[in-house]
Structures are given as C-alpha cells and as structure tokens.
Chain A
Amino acid sequence: NAGVTQTPKFQVLKTGQSMTLQCAQDMNHNSMYWYRQDPGMGLRLIYYSASEGTTDKGEVPNGYNVSRLNKREFSLRLESAAPSQTSVYFCASRWGVDTQYFGPGTRLTVL
C-alpha cells in the first residue's frame, strides 16, 4: 500500500514550457486534491475532484488544468509555465469525511 505517490519529485522549467504533474493513490479514495505551498502563504487549493469524472476549481486555479483520469489518478498540467508558479505542489486524497492523506510533493522551479 503506497498511499499517495507523486512524480516527478523535482522539476526545473523555463518560462513558457509545459508539463504535467502526476498523482496516484491506491486507497480507493473518491476525492483528490491539488495544492501549492509557498513560503508565508500556507497551502492553497488549486483544483479538486470529488469523484471520478468531476473536477472543480479551488482558490488559485489560474494557469492550471487538471484531469481525473480514473479513480486512482489525478494530474495537474501547466500549459505555459511562469516564474510565479515556482512552488511545492502537493496532491492529496480522501474518502468522504475521513482523514486526508498527502503525497511527498513536487518541487517546481520556473526560470
């Protein structure tokens, strides 16, 4: 039982490049979340998915897109990376109102 996994762990992009952050969970959770964490700003919700086939915007969705590929996988895409998107990105999952579990994070730098 690996829990929540994220790839890659680290990434450096140039402004304007695109990339997809991958997240997968093996706990049969229905809800999945993408956050970004910036110094002094705490965790902010980017997008979430309440169930397979549904996605909704969180607090800071601009510049991002998501795909809930199936119940296990929830990906985050940056179409044209900007320096303001330099951050640590966390994926999380949850079953109903139960405990939320986090992945180890992806550290992204946009030059």
Chain B
Amino acid sequence: KQEVTQIPAALSVPEGENLVLNCSFTDSAIYNLQWFRQDPGKGLTSLLLIQSSQREQTSGRLNASLDKSSGRSTLYIAASQPGDSATYLCAVFHASGGSYIPTFGRGTSLIVHP
C-alpha cells in the first residue's frame, strides 16, 4: 500500500526566507505527483503537477522536484510571504484499471510571519 509522508508537519518562518517542504512515498511506481495548497476552511488549489518522466516544474516562486527512484519530492518556495501561509499537501497518483488513484500526505502547515 502506498504511503505518503510530509515533513515537517508544521513550519513557522519569518517573511523572506526560502523554504523546502518534503514529500516521500513508499512505492515508486507512480504516474505523477501533484502539490496543492489549502487555505483554512477552503478546498485544495493545485500548485504544480509533475509527470513521472519529469524532474521538476516551476511556477513563479515555486519549484517542485521529483526523484522517482528514491521516492521523494520537494517543494521549494522562494522569498516567502505572509500570503503563502497555508497547508501544503502532496499527492501521488498510480495507475489502476484505466484510472489514476491518488494517495495524499497529511500536509505541512506553513505560517509566514511579517
């Protein structure tokens, strides 16, 4: 059974710091990996999607890398801002019977203080 672990569970940093959030998974036979952001009381918003054949994806101040063989992904946030405060979740998808089944980590709760 796929297990996804996110470290750290919580993080509090001053504004301006560069951050690394970690996601590890036990079964490397994944199809792709997706990073999400969730604000309190809200749904999930997709940040980045990395296909299994890719090594990284970038969007603005966000960069996500994928090392499928070692079962790891990192989300790098450059020059953090208070507006980045949220919970960040990663999900890995594996193929099963024509569909793509997700397994989520429990998230990293990030607070960026001014």
Residues in chain A within 8 A of chain B (CB atoms): 31, 33, 35, 40-45, 48, 50-51, 56, 58, 90, 92, 94, 96-105
Contact = CB atoms under 8 A, between A and B. Distances in A.
A43 to B, nearest CB: 4
Interface residues of B, number: 25
B106 A97 contact: no
Contact of B106 (A40, A96, A103, A104): A40
Contact of A102 (B44, B49, B107): B44
B104 A94 contact: no
A97 B93 contact: yes
Interface stretch (B12-20, B61-69, B77-85, B94-102): B94-102
A45 B101 contact: yes
Interface of B: 31-32, 34, 36, 42-46, 49, 51, 89, 91, 93, 97-107
Nearest to A103: B43
A50 B98 contact: yes
Q: Would you call the interface of chain B mostly helix, strand, loop, or mixed? A: strand
Given A41-B106, A42-B104, 7 more contacts: A42-B105, A44-B104, A48-B101, A50-B98, A50-B99, A94-B100, A97-B93
Contacts of A105: 42-43
A78 to B, nearest CB: 20
B82 to A, nearest CB: 23
Nearest to B106: A42
A51 B51 CA distance: 21
B31 A97 contact: yes
Contacts of A41: 106
B89 A42 contact: yes
A111 to B, nearest CB: 21
Kindly list the 4 A-B residue pairs having the minimum CB-CB distance in the complex, ordered from nearest.
A50-B99, A42-B106, A43-B104, A102-B43
Contacts of B32: 97
Contacts of B93: 97
A98 B32 CA distance: 9
B99 A90 contact: no
B51 A99 contact: no
